[in-house]
Amino acid sequence: MALRTAFRGRAALSGLLSCSSHGRLSPSFISQRKNSTSPKIKVDYDQTTGVAVMRMQSPPVNSLSLDFLTEVCISLEKLEMDKGCRGIIITSNQPKVFSAGLDILEMYGKSPEHCGEFWKAVQEMWLKLYGSNMVTIAAINGSSPAGGCLMSLTCDYRIMADNPRYSIGLNETQLGIVAPFWFKDTMVNTVGHRNTEMALELGLLYKPAEALKIGLVDQLVPEDQVLTAATQTITKWLAIPEHARQITKSMMRKQTIEKLRSNREADIQNFVNFITKESIQKSLRMYMEMLKQKKA
Amino acid sequence: MALRTAFRGRAALSGLLSCSSHGRLSPSFISQRKNSTSPKIKVDYDQTTGVAVMRMQSPPVNSLSLDFLTEVCISLEKLEMDKGCRGIIITSNQPKVFSAGLDILEMYGKSPEHCGEFWKAVQEMWLKLYGSNMVTIAAINGSSPAGGCLMSLTCDYRIMADNPRYSIGLNETQLGIVAPFWFKDTMVNTVGHRNTEMALELGLLYKPAEALKIGLVDQLVPEDQVLTAATQTITKWLAIPEHARQITKSMMRKQTIEKLRSNREADIQNFVNFITKESIQKSLRMYMEMLKQKKA
Amino acid sequence: MALRTAFRGRAALSGLLSCSSHGRLSPSFISQRKNSTSPKIKVDYDQTTGVAVMRMQSPPVNSLSLDFLTEVCISLEKLEMDKGCRGIIITSNQPKVFSAGLDILEMYGKSPEHCGEFWKAVQEMWLKLYGSNMVTIAAINGSSPAGGCLMSLTCDYRIMADNPRYSIGLNETQLGIVAPFWFKDTMVNTVGHRNTEMALELGLLYKPAEALKIGLVDQLVPEDQVLTAATQTITKWLAIPEHARQITKSMMRKQTIEKLRSNREADIQNFVNFITKESIQKSLRMYMEMLKQKKA
């Protein structure tokens, strides 16, 4: 319980990954998620514009737990199947954070089977988002490390709050773990090989102004205008002939997507072998202890 | 006839593709093209410098019709075979436009066979220009959308008139059609993956200053100095040891070229299947109607 | 002898490649190199920090001769095998030059066998440096053309003296020879496809400020602070969890490395066939004559 508490505060935001308490899926929970408003994701879908706003609201820091990832995927599937829905804005309902990334508690002290199931869900989210036919805009209204950054990178366009207390980046290396090849490929496609090499080797987190400079985000706006700007942007994107835009998006991304799709099992096995190593588990434990002390 | 007239004016410049009147090749026309000065391309070849200036002069907007493309290819072949010719400057003799791109009339209401023949000519022009052993400089003295932009991108260096009324870009998506993979590859090689993704999905046309910023063109000069600057530039390029420069150019481009060369038939089939779709034909018709109304 | 003298002076620095006098390996010379301080490379290894400083000191301009390359590789192997050594700073003990690049005398008037042996050593240096598990920092305290630039490009980070009299670049084309595909790949990974295309076709040498602008170097500092800055930088890099950093570095580079590794013999044959051509030998002779005249 102490550990859970530790991740409720600001401390987690300064970190690399995140964790949150969560239980296994219960039947009632699953049925709840069939509503457009599920516990961890609030979806506001406007049929007149064809735009859905997905608000992440999994306290404290929108950690990407297995449950959360499953909800994201179910929400995306529902929207993707709705012919009227043409665009998504992804944003956070939690203060100061977009998403703090993958939930450490899904990887620490868990069985290889659980770790594998978790990793499959991370892959699934990436495949659904990076391969989405819809226009996807990240309205980054808080810090966005690791998996949070990955979510942003899958979108067609990234608007970030111009607040120097926030940062964004794939900082896995700082924690002693490794961003997999498809995280890397997504970043290379966005900011090029050299920026990615340096960012991933050092586990860099970028302030908004730096992120804009290297192209990690596309636009900075005052914090209270992130959603407005995202709405204006998506309107422009939706004015583009849809079929041609979709084919073009697919052409730009299919090689990167295909690379994971044809290597999913090996990638899962690779992750499980790595994360269940004693030395890596020790790193995770030390990291969580450090967070606890920060909190205390 | 009304349609033809519609494309004679300024309206076409604001558009995405272009069209022009043209007839089928007649025997006398073919023989004319054996002269260095053919109807649609004027070639001024200076044997003392080894530089040929290719002036596009196909009214009103240098649309890339089948005839025009054939002439471009024949001119290039002749120059490539002349051992003394070491460099080409490509520019326009039409006011305000470099080239308005592929001629819509070659794709609208035409048989699959005709569309296939047309596409093969587009491929051929790209293969000849992107794979040319000669130094190639684009002297972009007007707007250069779609296929016009592609021509520029095949060159070794791009100098554009610094006139904010002109624009350049692969804007096919705006018309509801899709830039094929080799247009995309050429652009990625020039401005990188992320700029290309956004440019192609939105069908962006860039003002000269924006084009310079992302590297879509290499240099801006006042409008009346485009050709002078191109001549100065090509002199520098021709001072480089030729054999080494050619091998290096080939090394940089051969993978991209090989990708189309080994997929020409499939690419033609893909284009024909797409462009002859009822929905796409309808898009083209609506676009031409829009141009007519603008004109009227 | 006259030729040797010619390369002792400043003239060689303005050039593209370089040459230096050298003899074949003698047994006593080989045994010398087992010391951490060998004739052409001085290695200062600080066991408390885990950082080794490799100072190139092969007069006049640190030409990459066969002997010199062999020494570099032996030094690197020794450091790589020492578990305590975690980072290398590569710098020059010669004034005004980091390294003037491949030694022309190893390619001019030599047997195909010798040229092949030389090229294998160039490959070996690149494979060892680009694939090193250690943190590698180039402290570029002088001009760094051709092979000197390649050495810099293999490092994790490049700090250059902010002196406009120095320059850096892969300028092989200027001499009539061609940078091989793996030089090209290394540069593309650093500055992207378009910058590389133009740099290699024209054989460009960049002043420090230009090099910084395109990302060919990462940081400029006053000339007397290059080594200090490199030491500060490597301290930051060494603070990153090592195993994760190494796996990440390998992930970023393995495809490029594998491409040469699986084509070494063909690449050697290709180099030998090219460099032993009469026309290329003539280019090298003319270049050396030009250097002699400059000197006189």
ipTM of the complex: 0.88
Instruction: Please tell me the distance from the alpha carbon of residue A177 to that of residue C245, in angstroms, as a whole number.
Output: 9
Q: Which residue has the higher pLDDT, B29 or C292?
A: C292
**Nearest CB neighbour to C174, from listed B190, B241, B251:** B241
Q: Which phi and psi angles does C199 have, rounded to 5°?
A: -60, -45
- Band of the pLDDT at B7, cuts 50, 70, 90? very low
Mean pLDDT, residues C89-116 taken together: 97
Token pair of A149, please? 């950054």
Residue C113: other Cβ atoms inside 10 A: 9
Higher pLDDT, residue C12 or B173:
B173
Q: Do C193 and B252 touch (CB under 8 A)?
A: yes
Of B111-115, B258-262, C17-21, the least confident: C17-21
Instruction: Report which residue type is found at A161.
Output: A
User: What distance in Å separates residue C28's CA from the closest CA in chain B?
Assistant: 40
What 3 state SS string does A51-86 have? Answer: EEEEEECCCCCCEECHHHHHHHHHHHHHHHHCCCCC
Tell me how far apart the terminal alpha carbons of chain C are, to the nearest angstrom: 14
> Average pLDDT over chain B, rounded to whole?
89
SS3 assignment for A140-169:
ECCEEEHHHHHHHHHCCEEEEECCCCCCEE
pLDDT tens-digit readout, C122-177: 999 999 999 999 999 999 999 999 999 999 999 999 999 999 999 999 999 998 99
Q: Concatenated DSSP letters for A184-210?
A: HHHHHHHH-HHHHHHHHHHT--B-HHH
Over residues C103-114, the mean pLDDT reads 96
> What are B115's two structure tokens?
């569309």
| Residues C54, C43 contacting (CB under 8 angstroms) | yes
Residue B38: pLDDT over 90? no
Per-residue model confidence as pLDDT tens digits over A189-203: 999 999 999 999 999
A8 to A4, A170, A218, A296: CA distances (angstroms): 7, 22, 30, 12
Taking alpha carbons only, the member of B191, B193, B194, B144 closest to residue B170 is: B144
Quick one: which of B210, B173, B198, B213 has its CA closest to A189?
A: B198
User: Which has the minimum average pLDDT: B29-43, C1-15, C221-235?
Assistant: C1-15
Task: Please indicate whether, in this complex, the C-beta atoms of C215 and A196 are within 8 angstroms of each other.
Answer: no
Give residue A18's pLDDT: 54
pTM, two decimal places: 0.90
Residue B35 has pLDDT above 80, yes or no: no
pLDDT at C294: 79
Per residue in A19-33, pLDDT (tens digit) is 444 333 333 333 333
Strand partners for B92: B56
Q: What is the mean pLDDT of residues B53-66?
A: 97
- Of B29-33, B203-207, C54-58, minimum mean pLDDT range: B29-33
SS3 call for B37: strand
**Average pLDDT in chain A:** 89
Contact C172 B251 (CB under 8 A): no
Q: Does B192 touch chain C (CB under 8 A)?
A: yes
Closest CA–CA distance from residue B191 to any residue of chain C (Å): 7
CB proximity C200 to B under 8 Å: yes
Q: Is 90 exceeded by the pLDDT of residue B16?
A: no
Q: Say which of C101, C116, C147, C203 is annotated catalytic.
A: C147
Chain C touched by A214 (CB under 8 Å): no
Q: How many CB atoms lie within 10 A of CB B215?
A: 15
Mean pLDDT for B25-39 is: 41
- Residue B170: closest C-alpha in chain A: A248
Per-residue DSSP letter, A15: S
CA distances (Å), C258 to each of C125, C132, C169, C179, in order?
15, 14, 24, 18
Average pLDDT estimate for A124-130: 98
Average pLDDT over residues B241-261: 97
Distances (CA, A) of B42 to B39, B59, B73, B244, C65: 7, 13, 13, 30, 52
Give Cα A36 to chain centroid, integer Å.
20
Q: What CA dihedral angle connects C139, C141, C143 and C148, to 10 degrees? A: -30
Across A81-85, A131-135, C33-37, least confident range? C33-37
**Tokens at residue B6, please?**
């519609």
What residue spans of chain C are helical by DSSP H?
Answer: 2-6, 27-32, 66-81, 112-130, 146-154, 181-191, 193-202, 208-214, 226-238, 242-261, 264-275, 278-295
Residue C288's pLDDT band, with cuts at 50, 70 and 90, is: confident
Per-residue pLDDT at B287: 84
Closest Cα in chain A to B204: A240
Instruction: Please report residues of C whose CB lies closer than 8 A to that of A179.
Output: 248
The pLDDT, as a whole number, for residue C33 is 36
Question: Residue A88's beta-bridge partner residues?
Answer: A52, A136
Q: How far is CA A280 from the centre of its chain?
A: 22
Mutate to test the interface with B, among C171, C177, C195, C202 (most CBs of B within 10 A): C202
Q: Which two tokens stand for residue A22?
A: 């969560």
C53 to chain A, closest Cα gap in Å: 21
Other C-beta atoms lying within 10 Å of the C-beta of residue B140: 31
Pair type for strands C41-46 and C51-56: antiparallel
pLDDT of residue A296: 74
Residues 142-171 of B with CB under 8 A from C: 156-157
C168-169 and C144-145 beta bridge pairing: parallel
Task: Tell me whether residue C172 is one of the annotated catalytic residues.
Answer: yes
